Each structure stands twice: as C-alpha cells, then as structure tokens.
Amino acid sequence: MPSPRSSAGGFAALGVLALCFVMNAVARGAGETYAVFLLPIGQETGWHRADLTSVYSLFMAANGLASPFVGLAFDRLGPRVLYVLGLAALGGGFMLAGSMTSLWELYLCVGLIGGLGIASLGMIPASALISRWFDRNLATAMAVASTGLGTGTLLLVPLAQVLIDGVGWRTAYVWLGGMVLAVAVPVALLPWHRIARGRVERPVGIGVDDGPRLLRAVRGRPFWALFMVFFLTAIAVFSVSLQSVAYLVEQGFTPLEAAGAFGFTGVLSIVGMLATGAAVDRYGNRVTATVTYLCTLTGVAALFGMQSAPSFALVVVFVVFFGVSMGARGPIVSTIAATLFAGRGLGTIYGTITTGQGLGAAVGSWVAGYLHDLTGGYDTGFVMSATFAIAAITLFWTVPELSARRQRPE
C-alpha cells in the first residue's frame, strides 16, 4: 500500500480501493450469473446451446467494444457519471430480461444493455482510480480491487440459483436487476471530486500528457501485446467457464451443487488475485503469469478427465486450480498498463486494451457452444482452452515490455 502522507490520506486510499472492489463484485458477479440461467432458459424455450451461448458472446463483445468509450467517458465525464450509468444499464437490462419472450430480447437485455453496464463498472475505472491513489505495491492494490470479481461470483451465482429454484428464472432476473439498481443511489452520493483527484504524483510513462495519447499508444508493440494477452486469456477461460455448470450437471451433479462449485471458484480467485499481486511485486510478471496459466491448464485437464472417471476429487481439482487462476491475469495487465501508459489518459488506453478481453470472451464462449452442438461434447472446447493458454504464456516470454514494473519512488 502507499506510504501515507497523512492518516486521512491513507484511509481515503483504502476507501477508494474498497469502492473499486464493490463495483467489481457487482459487475462480474451479475455477469457470471448467466451460467446458471443457461439451462433453465434452454429448458423453457428449447433454444440450442449455441443460441444461448451467443447471448453471452454478445454480452462480452459489447463489454469489450464499449471499453474504449468507457475509458474516454472516465477521462472526460468522471467516475460518478460512469458508475451510475453503468449500474442503471445493468440493473435495468436484467429487470427487462425477466419479461422477454424471444431470443432477440435476450440479446438486447442481457447481451447488449448488460454488457454496456458491466464495461462501465469493472477494472477500467478501477485501474484509473487506483493508479491515482497508490504508488508503492501498485500490483497488490490492483489485485485487491480485482478480488471483487471473485467475490461477486461467489455471492451472486449461488444466489441466482437459489432464486431460480425458488421463484423461477424470470423473477430471479427481476430481483437481481432491482438489487443492482439499488446500489446506484448511495454510489451517486459519494464525494467524487475528492475521489477522482487522487493523491499520487503522476509518474512518467508512454502515455503522459503531450500529444494524442491513445493514437501514440496503439502504434507501439506494448499496447498490442497487452491486447493479445487479454484476448488469448479470455478465449482460454470463457471457452470453459460459461458451460462449466451445465457440464457438471451432465456429469451427475445437481444444479445447486454445480452452481456452488462454480461460485466457489470465486473464493479461490480472491486468493489467486491477492497472491498474484504480491508475486508480481516480488518475482515479476513473467514467472507469475506462467504459474497462473499452468493452474488454468490443470483445472481444464481435471474437467477433461471427469468424463472417463467422474469423481468429486476432480471437481475439487478443477475448482482449486481453475478458480485460483481465474482473473489472476487482470492485475498483471492492469499494472503493466498503469506503468507503461501512466497519466490522465490511462482510462482511455486501458479501456481500449480491455477490448481484447471482451472480444476473446465473446469468441471463446460462442465457439465452445457451437463446438458442443457440432460434436455433442466438450472435448474440443477443452483443447481450444489449453491451446490459447499456451499461446498467452508464449507472449509473456517473447515480448520484453511485458516484464515492465513501476519504479518505486525513493
């Protein structure tokens, strides 16, 4: 954490970190609930798996494609407007989804409107805010904020399953949307002028104030390396995660057990993100990233093996290893971006980099669903996940800029 110039400044920094944590929890948790809506929607409507996974693909594509504009909105309009509009979009989209009667309405409510809401609440504004409040141990601060992603999954995915079991998937969407909208009121009343101002002197980086920052950034190798890390990693993760609940149900587990296992990956992702932040500060980006990808590969292998030898032990291996690595690359990428592109334009640049994550998630989730319909199983999706994880490891060891770390002030 930063060396506080005053106890008040230190408490304010922790408050900003807590805010980013909560917003991440709301965003990721709400988004990941689609994994437990997948089966009940399909059972009622009879839509194919590829149709249903394509909704999530649109959701992630909207999230990714909106990211540059979210970063620009943060830089131009400030975090208050961005957060309130994001909560309104996400909550409103979910409430409308409860009354949908056709696939295009699900595309609109969950896919498009929900995706735009998620983009406005996640690590784009969080990275920009945290870089203004923390200098020392920046990676650890980014990791703490990122643990909100896992916490949201842990809390909201099982809650969504309980609501579905109790009142049906339509009413469950209405309840979840209402909860998200309720968060917008206290968020709007926060002292945003103080929060946005920050307290860390801006370090020198590629994206500092002279010239068109984003245009200069996209001409360089570091920008595209980070973009591709997000793209490849998202394909590796989302080709498995979206269908993991349905897969476990097909292996004989109850829907609540499957949702609980998926939700518990959120617990482990918290541990993984915190460990990642500390490891980056101590061991660097390359070694830390490689370990996280090896954990992902181990989790995917456990799911693959479950088809020939179903057992609770393999579920534990999947939850532990896939969970501990889920989201672990986020703090690494956000820290590298905050180091290389320091300055007030960071929101726009990081938001554009995040487009890679949204597009990768869209590609991974849709292609995996299509391959399931085509082959009648999950094996090709598992192979795809492993291939792209290995490709991401290769990037970290071949692009020099991905080892960048912020110099600590004396």
The full set of domain ranges for the chain reads 9-403
What is the Cα–Cα distance from 97 to 52, expressed in whole angstroms? Answer: 14
User: Mean pLDDT over residues 386-408, rounded?
Assistant: 84
The two three-digit tokens of residue 326, written as one number = 């889920």
Decide if pLDDT at 212 tops 60: no
Global confidence as pTM: 0.68
Amino acid at 338: A
The two three-digit tokens of residue 272, written as one number = 């993984």
Decide if pLDDT at 378 tops 80: yes
Greatest mean pLDDT among 115-119, 145-149, 202-206 lies in 115-119
User: Mean pLDDT over residues 133-159, rounded?
Assistant: 79
At 3-28, the pLDDT tens digits run: 444 455 567 888 888 999 999 889 88
Q: Of 101-105, 173-177, 252-256, which gets the smallest average pLDDT?
A: 252-256
Supply the DSSP string of 346-371, one letter for each residue. Answer: HHHHHHHHHHHHHHHHHHHHHHHHHH
The pLDDT value given to residue 409: 44
Indicate the SS3 state at residue 327: coil
Q: For 308, which DSSP code?
A: T
Q: Distances from the Cα of 130 to the Cαs of 137, 140, 161, in angstroms?
A: 11, 11, 33
Please enumerate in sequence order all residues whose Cβ is within 8 A of that of 196, keeping only pairs 6 or more positions apart, or say none. Answer: 78, 79, 80, 129, 132
- pLDDT band at residue 306, thresholds of 50, 70 and 90? confident
Amino acid at 216: R
What is the Cα–Cα distance from 13 to 273, expressed in whole angstroms? Answer: 19
H or E element that contains 32: helix 7-32
Greatest mean pLDDT among 26-40, 52-66, 121-135 lies in 26-40
At residue 75's C-alpha, the angle toward residues 71 and 79, to 5°, is: 85
User: Mean pLDDT over residues 358-373, rounded?
Assistant: 84
Residue whose C-alpha is closest to residue 400's, from 295, 285, 299, 231: 285
As a whole number, the mean pLDDT across the chain is 83
The two three-digit tokens of residue 282, written as one number = 């101590």
Decide if pLDDT at 359 tops 60: yes
Decide if pLDDT at 202 tops 60: no
What is the Cα–Cα distance from 317 to 250, expressed in whole angstroms? Answer: 18
Alpha helices in 78-137 (DSSP H): 79-97, 103-106, 114-119, 123-133
Question: Buried b / exposed e across 35-54, counting CB within 10 Å, b at 16+?
Answer: bbbbbbbeeeeebebbbbbb
CATH T-level fold of 9-403: Growth Hormone; Chain: A; (1.20.1250)
Helices (H) and strands (E) counted in the chain, each on its own, are: 18, 0
Q: Higher pLDDT residue, 93 or 365?
A: 93
Residue whose C-alpha is closest to residue 390's, from 275, 315, 300: 300
| CA 278 distance to own-chain centroid | 19
Please enumerate in sequence order all residues whose Cβ is within 8 A of that of 243, keeping only pairs 6 or more positions apart, or say none. Answer: 35, 38, 49, 53, 368, 369, 372, 378, 381
At 171-197, the pLDDT tens digits run: 999 999 999 999 999 999 999 888 887
Residue percentage of the chain with pLDDT more than 90: 25
At 328-351, the pLDDT tens digits run: 888 888 888 878 886 657 777 887
What is the Cα–Cα distance from 312 to 253, expressed in whole angstroms? Answer: 10
